Structure 1
Amino acid sequence: MTAALRDKTVLVVGRGSGIARAVSDAALREGAHVIAAGRNGAALHKSYRETSVTVATVDVTDEESIKALAAQVGGVDHVVSAASARARGTVPELTPDAILRSFHTKVVGPVMLAKHFAPTMPEGGSFVLLSGVAALEPDPGFLAVAATNGAVNTVVRSLAVELAPIRVNAVSPGTIDTGAWDALGDQGKAELFGRLTRANPTRRIGTSEDVAHAILFALTNTFLTGVCLPVDGGQPLV
């Protein structure tokens, strides 16, 4: 355990599984008080019932919901926004609603989190947003995902300047086995993971813990701001 997060309050916005859960668990191990917030409060309570995590409800696409969360939990030291709404599909399959839902969840929502949490955050506080490898690796079916993640990368740089000395960073995961790919079916998922494992320089698929380690680094390195850390196994290189 290091001292950087001990007795600090970390708000993790997202589901009770995958990357958000890995971040919460890692922060707990570092001695932080963790608040897990998301739209499905019942699911979060079930996921965290055997931990010391405090559970709250928030919809990051609704500013009033974010404002209410800030009033409920009071000041926090760090905010991690891991919420996402994937708008996968080729151009003929995409709808304006799906694209806007993705953008509101990963771009507008974090800006509103900054609006309502930064004013009470200490100078050593920080925000970490989630971007993604699609911003650097154009692929059919991921246009809306790429556009959203590219916007996250830009927002991080602007927020880092505007909110200084509060730090703002992003972590950009590659293909991570969080369960999000289970919809492909066992065979489809195995084929995709097999192809990516053979191609990327690390020769494996990423885990939620890989991403959580990078997020904790971004939370605790006090000389890091305005950057997007790739945790992608070198995927864009091939």
Structure 2
Amino acid sequence: MSSLNYLRVLVVGGSSGIGFAVAEAAVAAGAHVTIASRSQDKLVAAAQQLGPGTETAVLDTADEAALETFFASRDAFDHVVVSAAQTPTGPLRKLALNDAKSAMESKFWGAYRVARTARIAERGSLTFISGFLSERPSASSVLQGAINAALEALARGLALEFSPVRVNTVSPGLIDTPLWSKMADDAKAAMFSRVSENLPAKTIGKPEHIANAVLFLMTTPFATGSNVRVDGGGAIA
């Protein structure tokens, strides 16, 4: 694993799932990690798992004033990762318009606000988590594909605007995270089995697989404006 010794890493959405895996990998690589989310309880539990030295911040990406205050009160981060999002899903004509707006507000505009307010060290990096539906649309999740595509386009543009800060995205496929915890165990196992059989990789993604890609982008000075798809081959299946 590449070293992040003494570098300052912020993971927005770092209290669970993919964000937590990124924070865990960054800690293992020697970084000083700050995890941020809306839940103080989740942050405390995550920080205990990550170990001494992990900082926490209660932060809502919908609150621009709070974001500005947060970044103004801290030194620039070397690397910022945005994994936080709540995105209701469903077919376009069945998903309530307010829910659709909420999904765009959370995943796209939340990342946009972080990008707008974040203080990132020169030649540092900003990484968004998008999703493979940007390239492999689903008839039941059209909005998610559109949001992911918008996020990836935002990153490419910001890679030019923010240069020499590097801006990239990681695009996961189906990942076994707490997002699926509301499903019954047998239903979840059946879904994962069915999906994995149809993937070229013949396995379901884990949060640490996405964390590997994020750390690659953090530690590769020649990577900017890039989208790294980690989907088990879902986009080509």
TM exceeds 0.5? yes
AA aligned to 1:60 is T
Give the whole-Å Cα distance in 2 for the aligned partners of 1:70 and 1:97: 30
Aligned to 2:92: 91
Which residue is 1:113 aligned to?
Answer: 114
Secondary structure of 2:164's counterpart equals coil
2:233 is matched with 234
Letter of the 2:205 counterpart: G
Unaligned segments of structure 1, at least 5 residues: none
Counterpart of 2:224 in structure 1 is 225
Partner Cα distance (1:160, 1:224) in 2: 10
Q: What's the CA shift string for 1:82-116, capped at 9, x where partnerless?
A: 00112211223312222222222222222221222
What TM-score results when the alignment is normalised by the length of structure 2?
Answer: 0.94
State the distance in 1 between where 2:235 and 2:145 align.
13
Work out the percentage of aligned pairs sharing the same amino acid: 35
- Partners of 2:40 and 2:105 lie apart in 1 by 20
Distance (whole Å) between structure 1 residues aligned to residue 97 and residue 183 of structure 2:
24
Secondary structure of the 2:121 match is coil
- Code of the aligned partner of 1:87: P
Task: Report the number of matched residues.
Answer: 235
Bigger mean CA deviation after superposition, 65-74 or 161-170: 65-74
1:165-224 CA distance string (max 9 Å, x none): 100000000000012123332232122211111111110000000000000001110000
Alignment RMSD: 1.4
> Does the aligned pair in 2 maintain the 1:87–1:142 contact within 8 Å?
no
Displacement after TM superposition at 1:126 (Å): 0.5
Contact conserved, 1:14 with 1:81, CA < 8 A, in 2? yes
Name the aligned partner's letter for residue 117 of structure 2.
Answer: H
> Counterpart in 1 of 2:27?
28
1:157 matched to 2:156: yes
Measured after TM superposition, the shift of residue 15 of structure 1 is 4.5
Give distance in 2, aligned partners of 1:144 and 1:86. Answer: 9
Once residues 23 and 88 of structure 1 are traced to their aligned partners in structure 2, the CA distance between those partners, rounded to angstroms, is 25
Greater helix fraction, Structure 1 or Structure 2: 1
Matched, 1:13 2:7: no
Higher alpha-carbon deviation: 160-169 or 71-80 = 71-80
Q: Please report how far the alpha carbon of residue 42 of structure 1 lies from its aligned counterpart in structure 2 after TM superposition.
A: 2.4
Find the counterpart in structure 1 of residue 104 from structure 2. 103
Give the Cα separation in 1 of the matches to 2:104 and 2:209.
25
What's 1:63 paired with? 64
CA contact (8 A) 2:196 2:203 kept: yes
Deviation at 1:129, TM superposition (A): 0.1
